[in-house]
Chains A and B, each alone.
Chain A
Amino acid sequence: MREMVAEILSDAGLADDGALTRTLESLQTMCPAEAPAPTGALAELLAQGTAASGGVAPSRAATRAAEAAIGKLSPQVAPVVPFTLRKRHRGAAISAAVIAGVGLSATGVAALGGVDYSANPPQAGARSAIVAPQAGADAAAQGETSEAPDPVVREAQAFAAAAGGSPVAHADRSPAPTSGGKDAPASSGVVFPSAPPAHEAPAEAAIAPAAARVEDPSAVAQDAGAALSQRPAPRHRAEPVVNRGRHIAQEAAATAQAIAATFAPAPESTAVASPPVKEAVAVASGAGQHAASAAAGALGQQHGNSSGRALAALGTRH
């Protein structure tokens, strides 16, 4: 032990430190001079060898520790077959794949962000129409004078005046004026339906008198059918989805009212047609255009009148 202490101190450059030398040598006092007498299983093992120790086994922890130490101390044999190129550069390959994936993702996001959504006129128009009133209100609040509306805005105002109660018309009817200043470019790409939006008001105008002339159901049905057939094919892309749904609901409700007004006072048809008519009205009022058209079609087939055919045509169009 003295040699080991001297070696340690010389390695550390403290060979001349007598106090430290004595301190390290005092560590020897922690070891007993002789090994304690073995007891139990160890005594049996030392006395009789491994042949007699079959029934005595060390603890599982000691066995595991011994196996681990044997495995750790066994000579390490270098692999005969060196790593292949792929294994050797596996980390670099994974890093390159990750970087490429991140790059592609960022590129894709950038590409998607660069899409000109103004190419979709209806949505852009709806957005500009919604934004315009707010900006106009802000401008009015600030006391700024707005410039004259551009042609697109004038067209929107005309559309609004013709459409009446349409939500889009409400939006466009608002002080378009707002287009002045910063909001002008936003509405520059607005495109509205080229066909006059008269299909809303004429439809109601044609159905309302028909409801009044309850004494002539066939005439009412003809008027409604004519009014609906004259309507230009709706450009669904030109209307926001919400507004289109609202139009369909309005049409269904008006048609149902017309049918109710048509069939209710007729004494000869009330006895037979009242239940189906009520059912059709209820369905049309509540469930929407498809249900209304189906009910109306069934009604038309049952009674063979022109109002049923008109409703069926209306249903197929929507």
Chain B
Amino acid sequence: MPDSLTDRDLIAGVLPETDLFARVYESLAPAVLGYFGARGVDDPEALMQDVFLSVLPRIGEITGGVAGLRTFVFSVAHARVVDYYRRVERRPRSVDYDPLLDLRAVPSAEAEALVRTGQTDAHLLIGALKPEQRDVLMLRIVGELSVEDVASVLGKTPGAVKQLQRRGLKALREIVSEGVMAQ
């Protein structure tokens, strides 16, 4: 996990290149994969590998230590997600109906029961938020980025990020409280 990577590791010459690449990948790949999964990308692993293919050769250009590397990696990941959704919206797929490809779903009885008992499904909860609120919360919690870094990744001001975070938390709290009230 991320704590295995330190600022000292990123200094040129401290670690061999292959070891540095492997350590960076092992530290940040789960978070990037989780971010892609939360954004609903079809093939998160392929997109994640594409991100690291473009990030790892540029590690020497990155400043700011581990925090700078995280910001850089999630900036690339966010850009790739944006590109993905633009491409999907521009060229919608038209395929024959296949029940296995039908991703439409309603919450199962178990999921609803979990919501009512407060043990909520993460995907269900995060999917109920607006996209920008979801981005902020995922980058803050999963990516472990500061408000300033999230603002840099999303191209927003720190104030806007704080506002989105506050509204996202409020929405999550309402969802959870509704589950408790329903119980």
Q: Is B17 an interface residue (CB 8 A)?
A: yes
Given A30-B38, A66-B54, A72-B152, A19 and B118 touching (CB < 8 A)? yes
Judged by a CB distance under 8 angstroms, whether B159 is at the interface is no
Q: Are A8 and B26 in contact (CB under 8 A)?
A: no
Given the interface contacts A30-B37, A31-B34, A73-B72, does A56 sit within 8 Å of B53 by beta carbon?
A: yes
| A62 CB-CB contact with B under 8 Å | yes
Are A62 and B137 in contact, with the CB atoms below 8 A? no
Q: Does A53 contact B (CB under 8 A)?
A: yes
A35 to B33 CA separation, bound complex (whole angstroms): 8
Chain B residues with Cβ below 8 Å from A17 are 173
Cβ 8 A contact of A5, one of B30, B38, B58, B141: B141
Contacts of A115 in B (CB 8 A): none
B144 at interface, CB cutoff 8 A:
yes
Give the A interface residue count (CB, 8 A): 54
Write out the residue numbers on chain A whose beta carbons fall within 8 Å of the beta carbon of B49. 38-42
A46 touches B172 (CB 8 A): no
Instruction: In the complex, identify which listed stretch (B6-14, B95-103, B122-130) lies at the interface while the others stay far away.
Output: B122-130
Closest beta carbon of chain A to B2's beta carbon, Å: 9
Q: Would you give the 0/1 interface string for A54-66, flagging 1 where the beta carbon is closer than 8 Å to chain B?
A: 0011110111111
Q: Is B63 an interface residue (CB 8 A)?
A: yes
Q: Is the CB of A49 within 8 A of B144?
A: no
Knowing A30-B34, A62-B80, the reply to whether A70 touches B72 (Cβ < 8 A) is yes
- When chains A and B are docked, how far (Å) is the Cα of A31 from the Cα of B80? 18
By a beta-carbon cutoff of 8 Å, the part of chain B in contact with chain A is: 16-18, 21-22, 25-26, 29-31, 33-34, 37-38, 45, 48-58, 61-64, 68, 71-72, 75-76, 79-80, 83, 118-123, 125-126, 137-138, 140-142, 144, 152, 155, 162, 165-166, 169, 172-173, 176-177, 180
Interface, chain A (partner B; CB < 8 A):
1, 4-5, 8-9, 11-12, 14, 17, 19-20, 22-24, 26-36, 38-42, 45-50, 53, 56-59, 61-66, 68-70, 72-75
